[in-house]
Structure 1
């Protein structure tokens, strides 16, 4: 019997260099490729997207032949010189491709596959990680660093507030001008981003500008993680969670309240580092969530756990009931459903792990 890790007692620090170095597909998607994506035969859009991405991959597999716009303009103080130096993109009609679809249809698998076959330099991150990176570096240094990439893949693209909208609109606009190719996944069409979360109509120009950079492709289908499976596993007891955490190497164990209070003290960019060395997450007494801020922090933690293939053992409210009915009707509904889908998948893994 060992002493479980207490996430609620950790105080991780993360440097900008670490944030940038970690911008690669997470362990769960390290080995995915187009060849091991299995389209649902009942959903033609899944097979169709393979062909579309295959064509794009052929272009992206070739190194960028010209220096980046940022490199050519480095040292220039004239805005006019930027315009004169800009170039068209001869290879692809749109600077990016945007995969829209529900949960568990393989969007992230496809996005990571595109990254794997593309020539470097290249970057892979979630939308939250991208905004965190810009916040850590500052806008101008971020544009300078990211303009050197051939391809930037952005998983779970979303706009939660006006600040994100303006920030990402400026960033991606400058990256596209520099010749960077983009690929993104989301549960929301680009021109619908922000709806139900803030007064998106006030930022329509920025949202439409973002949308214009992408070839939008819809992927239909049911969540593969739950096909023919129970909605959620039976919760453990508090005692069982504590015991499993003590018996498994690298396991953590925290009371739900202690954990979400800890998350409130940390910037979301540190949630990945919070899980360093953790091989199983144990959470006792999960409760019904009614506070939006607490819920959104837990969504980010769930994403980082899922990226890292960290099994979950949990007691309390069943995972498919942890978000209140009101939340599941609101503007963040898709985020919460994604978190439920991922947590249930991790809980099934946690139930099958040997102690």
Structure 2
């Protein structure tokens, strides 16, 4: 883990820094990233980012963005916006949510896979709350498949966002997921999907469904 100054010194040695899925979730991150990118630009580093949100709309619906207009305007001034229209290919061929297995079926399949983890959904969510999402990668080191029992809908946004972060780590690592309980496309409530984190939740749902497809019995290690 790097401190702020160390991070600036390290990234400042590069000609360009590229950021995928750029977004702002809270005031602390907004202030920090505005300082970081400003410092890099001052050092002559070019910054490129992809995002589903226009720079001047960052943070809308997620926190009191109007209280951080200076930081958001600073970020917006760094970028020249290039809009790329077209379909979201991540959703092409996305399989429907599979019928959930029983707890016993999940446990039996987990026992047949070397390097598998088997967790209760509530216990997993509670454990995620004990560490920063930046450390979730350590949870999946050496893991070949993730098995979860007792999945259900979430009504706590903090829990939901932590699950989104875990889904991102699992997806990037290509680790299959098998679950019992509720269908994975019903985890996030309609109220959540109507809020400021809608794109995050839809992305997480898409990724979880892709990971369950990768976990079909014929493809298990």
Q: TM-score normalised by the shorter chain: which range applies?
A: over 0.9
2:8 matched residue in structure 1: 143
Check 1:161–1:342 CA distance in 2 against 1; reply closer, same or farther (3 A cut). same
How far apart in 1 are the matches of 2:93 and 2:49?
29
Tell me by how many angstroms 1:215 deviates. 2.3
Gaps of 5+ in 1: 1-15, 17-136
Alignment of 1:247-258 (within 5 A): 247-258=112-123
Whether 1:192 and 2:192 are equivalent positions in the alignment is: no
How far apart in 1 are the matches of 2:5 and 2:93?
49
Tell me by how many angstroms 1:282 deviates. 0.7
Q: Is the 8 A contact 1:225 1:345 kept in 2?
A: no
How far apart in 2 are the matches of 1:169 and 1:283?
38
How far apart in 1 are the matches of 2:115 and 2:81?
42
- 1:301-337 deviation per Cα after TM superposition (whole angstroms, max 9, x unaligned): 0000001010111111111111011111111111111
Q: Kindly report structure 1 stretches of 4+ aligned residues shifted beyond 6 Å.
A: none
The number of aligned residues is 220
Whether 1:181 and 2:46 are equivalent positions in the alignment is: yes
CA RMSD of aligned residues (A): 1.5
Tell me by how many angstroms 1:274 deviates. 0.6
1:354 matched residue in structure 2: 220
Check 1:239–1:220 CA distance in 2 against 1; reply closer, same or farther (3 A cut). farther
Alignment of 1:272-311 (within 5 A): 272-311=137-176
Q: Is the 8 A contact 2:27 2:63 kept in 1?
A: yes
Q: Is the 8 A contact 1:254 1:283 kept in 2?
A: yes
Q: Is the 8 A contact 2:56 2:76 kept in 1?
A: yes
2:70 matched residue in structure 1: 205
Tell me by how many angstroms 1:218 deviates. 2.3
How far apart in 2 are the matches of 1:297 and 1:229?
23
Whether 1:158 and 2:23 are equivalent positions in the alignment is: yes
Structure number with the bigger relative contact order (C-alpha 8 A, sep ≥ 6) is 1
Tell me by how many angstroms 1:229 deviates. 4.3
Q: Is the 8 A contact 1:233 1:318 kept in 2?
A: yes
How far apart in 2 are the matches of 1:220 and 1:316?
37
- 1:173-232 deviation per Cα after TM superposition (whole angstroms, max 9, x unaligned): 010111112121222111101001111112112112111222222233333243244432
1:222 matched residue in structure 2: 87
Whether 1:331 and 2:185 are equivalent positions in the alignment is: no
Q: Is the 8 A contact 2:94 2:206 kept in 1?
A: no
Check 1:291–1:232 CA distance in 2 against 1; reply closer, same or farther (3 A cut). same
Residue 170 of structure 1 is aligned with which of 35, 52, 69? 35
Q: Is the 8 A contact 1:195 1:331 kept in 2?
A: yes
Gaps of 5+ in 2: none
TM-score using structure 1 length: 0.60
